[in-house]
Every structure is written in structure tokens, then in C-alpha cells.
């Protein structure tokens, strides 16, 4: 079963529709019992790091997500769902993230290296360059554009988790993958044909070692 974690953070229905479009069925739920039975968890998110963590804790989902990941089952984070995997964020100082990946979440710098203004939030299509092979990004040509909407980006301690990068003011991490966890800063469910192809690759498996 594919479950989408529905914890009141944004347009999760569009994720369900994109998954349905590529031929799979996903359930939207915040019920811990149901989430515990999921083979693959999709963890979307929009909005504020601190509020999202508070909502996860209120619903008792923090431990469910950790247990799923620790058990080696496939896990897909989207946008804020990527950021929440890290230890902390400049958006919510003092709030602990899930801490699945070491590192932090930072706001885009307002100026680039040349002193030019950087638009925040970044809204629109940006080309993602693969950092390595063996992630779902293999399903699309290197440099394919995806749709981004965000003001913060992740800074992993370990470069080896980076799956893809893009440039906004300077290079930033657009996707990460480690073992059974793949997470994207962009919205594959809003990235047209490229996004649907990525969803297919995510659900087909391979990147975490076995089919779902």
C-alpha cells in the first residue's frame, strides 16, 4: 500500500492525483495505524517548518515516520517533506526536525556572489543536474526542469546524500537520496510530463533495492 501523509500541510490531493495518473493507488491519511501498514510513504509538505513539526507531533506521526524509515521501507519526501528530514531549519530556530539526515535548512541568500538580488521565494521551473546515478532522477534527462516553490533549501552535512542540484543565486540541493529515502525540493506532481515520469520511476522502485 502507498500512503500519503496528510497532516494538514498543503495540497496533498495533487500528489495523490499524480500517483493515480501513473497507474498506482495511494491513500491520504493521518492515521498512525494505517501509516504503519504502508509499504511506501509519501511525505509532502508546504508551509512552515515549525508548524509542520508541531502538527506531526500532535498527531503522533513523528515516531511512525522514523520507524518506517528505520525499517528500510521506501520513503519519499516532497518540498517541506524534504526539509523536515533534516535536523533543524533557520525558519524555526530551536525546533528539531526529524533528523533522518544530518544537516540543516537555510534561507536563500538575498544576494548572489556578484551582489545581484535573488528573488525569494524561488517560484518556477529550474533545471536539475544529477549529482550521481542510481536515484529516480535517472528516469529523466540530466538538466530536466522541475517546478519549485520555496524560500529555504537543505544543506546536508554529507554530500554523498545529494541526488541533484539546481542554481538560484548559487547552487542548492534539489533532491537527496540515501538508502530507502528519496526526497525532492521541487514538486514532481506539478512538473508536467517530467514529473509524471519521475513518479513512475519512484514507484517502480529499484532505487531502494526492491520493488514495492
Partner 1 sequence: MLSRRLIPCLDVKDGRVVKGVQFLGLADAGDPVELAARYDAEGADELCFLDVTASADKRSTLTQLVGRVARELFIPFTVGGGIRSLDDMRAVLEAGADKVSVGTAALRDPALIERAAREFGSQFLVISLDVGRRADGARVLTTHGGREPTDVLVHDFARRMADAGAGELLLNDMERDGTKDGFGVELLASITAAVDIPVIASGGAGTAAHFVDAVAHGGADAVLAASVFHYGELSIAEVKAAMAAAGIPVRKPLGGTA
End-to-end CA distance of the chain: 8
The verdict on whether omega for the bond into residue 121 sits within 30 degrees of 0, i.e. cis, is: yes
**Which of 150, 153, 168, 189 is an active site residue?**
189
| Active-site choice (48, 68, 79, 150) | 79
Minimum CB distance to partner 1 smaller for 114 or for 193: 193
Report the sign of the C-alpha dihedral through residues 111, 117, 120, 122, in that order.
negative
> Packing angle between helix 49-58 and helix 62-70, nearest 10 degrees?
90
Residue with smaller CB distance to partner 1, 55 or 73: 55
- Choosing from 54, 95, 127, 212, the residue that interacts with partner 1 (CB under 8 A) is 127
189 is catalytic: yes
- 59 is a site residue for partner 1 (CB under 8 A): no
Smallest distance, Å, CB 25 to partner 1?
15
- Under the binding rule (CB under 8 A), the answer on residue 54 touching partner 1 is no
- Report the C-alpha gap between 43 and 173 in whole angstroms: 18
Residue 28 interacts with partner 1 (CB under 8 A): yes or no? no
Residues in the chain: 212
90 is catalytic: no
**Distance of CA 191 to CAs 32, 74, 206, Å?**
30, 22, 22
- Contacting positions for partner 1 (CB under 8 A): 10-11, 13-14, 17-18, 21, 46-48, 110, 117, 119-127, 140-141, 144-145, 147-151, 166-168, 189-197
Question: What amino acid positions are annotated as catalytic residues?
Answer: 79, 187, 189
Amino acid at each position: 500500500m502507498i500512503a500519503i501523509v496528510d497532516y494538514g500541510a498543503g495540497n496533498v490531493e495533487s500528489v495523490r492525483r499524480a500517483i493515480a495518473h501513473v497507474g498506482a493507488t495511494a491513500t491520504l491519511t493521518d492515521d498512525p495505524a494505517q501509516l504503519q501498514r504502508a509499504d511506501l510513504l509519501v511525505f509532502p509538505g508546504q508551509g512552515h517548518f515549525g508548524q509542520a513539526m508541531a502538527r506531526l507531533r500532535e498527531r503522533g506521526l513523528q515516531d511512525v515516520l522514523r520507524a518506517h524509515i528505520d525499517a528500510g521501507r521506501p520513503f519519499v519526501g516532497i518540498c517541506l517533506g524534504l526539509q523536515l528530514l533534516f535536523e533543524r531549519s533557520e525558519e524555526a530556530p530551536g525546533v528539531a526536525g526529524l533528523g533522518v539526515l544530518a544537516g540543516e535548512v537555510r534561507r536563500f541568500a538575498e544576494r548572489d556572489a556578484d551582489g545581484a538580488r535573488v528573488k525569494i521565494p524561488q517560484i518556477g521551473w529550474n533545471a536539475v543536474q544529477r549529482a550521481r546515478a542510481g536515484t529516480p532522477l535517472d528516469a529523466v534527462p540530466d538538466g530536466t526542469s522541475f517546478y519549485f516553490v520555496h524560500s529555504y533549501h537543505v544543506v546536508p552535512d554529507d554530500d554523498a546524500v545529494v541526488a541533484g542540484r539546481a542554481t538560484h543565486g548559487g547552487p542548492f540541493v534539489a533532491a537527496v537520496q540515501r538508502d530507502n529515502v528519496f526526497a525532492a525540493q521541487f514538486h514532481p506532481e506539478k512538473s508536467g510530463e517530467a514529473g509524471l515520469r519521475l513518479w513512475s520511476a519512484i514507484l517502480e522502485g529499484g532505487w531502494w533495492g526492491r520493488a514495492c
